[in-house]
């Protein structure tokens, strides 16, 4: 049932994104794209995975003797699995893989830490968005998206900087949730380190968007680069279609049209932006999977269960 729902959503989004498309024009535009910008985007993508891994290590803060390459490996494999499995099941795969290296840390604790990551990301998204809105760039998101982002910012601020008394009450009432919420509450520790590394991470996301759009000779304002990065990142993180197929493309096309970019260029950009990241995660994920000496079939079956 999950697979069917995921497939239907992806198909519907792809239909709306590409129901009017000239394949020859899109193919020509991708072929003529600046290869140097594309290579720069691949390098930036690798940097984002390094920053993700460093942040996860800082977030867990234990054990200190586990090398950073284990975090890098599991992060790549997790994103690789997200391309195969629906509802971002690869995120659970990340936690399972790292738990094999951390026998003293429960799987539920690691899942909680990944939820903490999402909360930090939403807070940074809100920070970027408030920066744009207060400078008067309301048209970057549209009013509806601006209100949603501001609401998320308020909620995540309360979680990070609040006293979490409600969560503590749940832990006392339901002991089974203790490990998960302990991981979740990591978000309120090491705030400055996590905030700094998260800010760098999101700057690298903007750089990825900039380099690939420049490769197609699409020029946006600085504020618009931030806006489309924020929205597409939120859409990508939603547990819907595998690899955000369809949903990502539709969001890119919608916002580039909002910024005055023609439909053909928007469709080309959506395909290129998604394909570069997808190919990177497939190739590097499979390499790390081989280095870890893991079998793909058993890993997929494990995550389905």
Give a yes or no: residue 183 inside a domain. Answer: yes
Across 6-27, average pLDDT: 62
- The tally of CA atoms less than 13 A away on the side-chain side of residue 96 is 17
Question: Residue 204 — very low, low, confident or very high, per pLDDT cuts 50/70/90?
Answer: very high
Q: Tens digit of pLDDT for each residue in 120-145?
A: 888 888 888 777 777 666 666 666 66
Residue, of 64 and 164, whose pLDDT is higher:
64
Phi first, then psi: give them for residue 88, nearest 5 degrees. 50, 45
Question: Residue 250 — very low, low, confident or very high, per pLDDT cuts 50/70/90?
Answer: confident
Instruction: Give the CA angle between residues 287, 39, 234 to the nearest 5°.
Output: 75
Instruction: List the one residue out of 257, 252, 200 whose CA is nearest residue 228.
Output: 252
Give a yes or no: residue 100 inside a domain. Answer: yes
Give a yes or no: residue 122 inside a domain. Answer: yes
Question: Residue 6: its pLDDT value, please?
Answer: 59
Q: Is 0.85 surpassed by the pTM of this model? A: no
Per cent of the chain over pLDDT 70 is 70
pLDDT score of 167 more than 60 = no
Give a yes or no: residue 23 inside a domain. Answer: no
d(CA 58, CA 189) in angstroms, rounded, equals 10
Residue, of 70 and 174, whose pLDDT is higher:
70
Give a yes or no: residue 71 inside a domain. Answer: yes
Packing angle, helices 68-82 and 35-60, rounded to 10: 120
Question: Residue 53: its pLDDT value, please?
Answer: 93
Q: How many domains does the chain have?
A: 1
Q: How far is CA 134 from CA 103, 140, 146, 295, in A?
A: 47, 12, 11, 50
Q: Taking all residues of the chain, what is their mean pLDDT, rounded to a whole number?
A: 78
Instruction: List the one residue out of 80, 4, 78, 92 whose CA is nearest residue 303.
Output: 92
With beta carbons less than 8 A apart as the criterion, state whether 112 and 179 touch. yes
Q: Tens digit of pLDDT for each residue in 273-303?
A: 988 998 999 999 989 988 877 666 655 555 5
Across 80-90, average pLDDT: 77
d(CA 159, CA 184) in angstroms, rounded, equals 10
Question: Residue 295: its pLDDT value, please?
Answer: 65
d(CA 152, CA 115) in angstroms, rounded, equals 14
Question: Residue 37 — very low, low, confident or very high, per pLDDT cuts 50/70/90?
Answer: very high
Packing angle, helices 89-101 and 68-82, rounded to 10: 150
Range of the domain at 290: 2-18+28-304
Across 87-105, average pLDDT: 79
With beta carbons less than 8 A apart as the criterion, state whether 89 and 304 touch. yes
With beta carbons less than 8 A apart as the criterion, state whether 106 and 179 touch. yes
Question: Residue 152 — very low, low, confident or very high, per pLDDT cuts 50/70/90?
Answer: confident
With beta carbons less than 8 A apart as the criterion, state whether 190 and 251 touch. no
Tell me the DSSP string of 212-278: HHHHTT----HHHHHHHHHHHHHHHHSSSSGGGTTHHHHHHHHHHHHTT--HHHHHHHHHHHHHHHH
Question: Residue 179 — very low, low, confident or very high, per pLDDT cuts 50/70/90?
Answer: low
């Amino acid at each position: 049932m999950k697979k069917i729902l995921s497939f239907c959503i992806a198909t519907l989004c792809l239909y709306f994104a590409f129901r009017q498309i000239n394949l020859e024009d899109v193919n020509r535009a991708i072929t003529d794209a600046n290869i140097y910008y594309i290579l720069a985007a691949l390098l930036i993508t690798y940097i984002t995975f390094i920053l993700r891994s460093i942040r996860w290590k800082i977030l867990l803060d234990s054990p200190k003797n586990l090398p950073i390459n284990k975090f890098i490996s599991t992060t790549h494999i997790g994103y690789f699995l997200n391309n195969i499995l629906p509802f971002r099941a690869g995120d659970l795969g990340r936690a399972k893989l790292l738990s094999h290296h951390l026998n003293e840390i429960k799987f539920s604790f690691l899942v909680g830490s990944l939820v903490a990551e999402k909360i930090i990301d939403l807070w940074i998204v809100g920070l970027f968005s408030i920066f744009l809105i207060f400078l008067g760039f309301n048209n970057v998101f549209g009013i509806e998206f601006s209100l949603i982002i501001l609401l998320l910012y308020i909620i995540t601020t309360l979680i990070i900087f609040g006293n979490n008394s409600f969560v503590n009450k749940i832990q006392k009432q339901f002991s089974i949730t203790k490990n998960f919420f302990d991981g979740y509450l990591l978000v309120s520790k090491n705030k400055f380190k996590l905030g700094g590394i998260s800010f760098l991470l999101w700057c690298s996301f903007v750089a990825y968007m900039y380099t690939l759009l420049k490769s197609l000779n699409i020029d946006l304002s600085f504020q618009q680069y931030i806006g489309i990065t924020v929205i597409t990142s939120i859409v990508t993180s939603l547990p819907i279609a595998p690899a955000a197929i369809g949903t990502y493309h539709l969001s890119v096309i919608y916002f580039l049209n909002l910024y005055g970019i023609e439909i053909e260029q928007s469709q080309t950009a959506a395909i290129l932006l998604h394909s570069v990241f997808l190919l990177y995660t497939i190739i590097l994920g499979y390499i790390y999977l081989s280095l870890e000496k893991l079998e793909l079939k058993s890993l997929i079956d494990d995550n389905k269960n």
